[in-house]
Structure formats: structure tokens, C-alpha cells
Amino acid sequence: MSSTQEKDSIDAIDVLTADHRAVESLFEAFERADESDLDARSTLVRRACELLTVHAMIEEEILYPAAREMLPDSDKTDVDEALVEHFLVKALIEKFAAMNAGAPGFDATFKVLSENVRHHVEEEEGELFPELRKAMPNLSELGRRLVARKDELMAKLPTNVGDRT
């Protein structure tokens, strides 16, 4: 599906869930990659970090402010927790700026990153997204905004490997 089609028909939760699946597939590819293929491992980490950075930005800029506005106070704790989890993920992503595949701690850092992201995804999809779906039955306008911002951010990446998931 092209970005134009997505902008016309997909809701916010579908956009974000698709991002989750794309990143999870990169985690799985890294786990299967030959440990001696440092180029492949480096590419997978770089791509995962790019997707996670863009995903975090669209959530923080668009989704979480909308959630704070629409959710009852009792559910806003999920947004606060998600922001803290983003902070931790971004801190791990920053470590890769000074680390190459094969360096001590490279694989361990990516493993911890993937574990944190998987936990975040589980909570988001199991708690926050259902709450949003109840509070905001029509998520298509929010979805269009997410996709537009995501497309803008992806176009700014230094290398745009693969399709824009």
C-alpha cells in the first residue's frame, strides 16, 4: 500500500502497529544474522534505529498529545510511562552513534534495545491502543497526520534503505 493510500484509509493505531511489526522483523533478522557478517548486522541496527527514532517522534509529537487530550485522567499514566520508555530507547539508540558492529557491547546493547521495545509495544498494543480506540472511535484524521509526519521524517533520513514501513 502506498503512503497516499495509507493517508486516505488507515487509522492511527494501524499506522503505529505496522511500525511495530516492521521493527520486530528487524529484531528477528538481527537475531538470525550471522555473527561474522558485521555489515549486515550494522545495517539492521541502523535501520531499526532509524525506524524507532521516526516512530518515537510521531508518537511524541502527535499521538501522545492527542491521547492526553482525549483520555480520562486514569488512563494518562500509560502516556507518561510510554514517554519514559521512549527516553530509555532513545538513550540506547544514541549509544550506537559511537559503536560499530563487532565492538564490545554492540550485540548486548541491541538485545537490551529490542527487549525494551518489545515491552513497550506489548503495553501500547495491550493497554494504550484499546483505550484510545474507545476514547477516539474515528482515528483516521490522526492516522493521516501520523503518516504525513512520518513521510516527512523518513525523507530526511541520510539513507532510506528499503520501503517506508
Q: Name residues whose C-beta falls within 8 Å of residue 148's C-beta, 6 or more positions apart in sequence.
A: 7
Check whether domain 3-155 has CATH 3.30.1390, yes or no: no
DSSP structure class, residue 74: G
Q: Is the pLDDT of residue 37 over 50?
A: yes
Q: What is the pLDDT of residue 1?
A: 43
pLDDT at 75: 76
- Cα–Cα separations (whole angstroms), residue 31 to 44, 54, 67, 153: 10, 22, 34, 27
Q: Taking the model in full, what pTM does it have? A: 0.87
In sequence order, the 6+-apart residues with CB closer than 8 A to the CB of 21 are 165
Confidence of residue 164 (pLDDT cuts 50, 70, 90): very low
Q: Which residues contact 62 (CB under 8 A, 6 or more apart)?
A: 142, 145, 146, 149
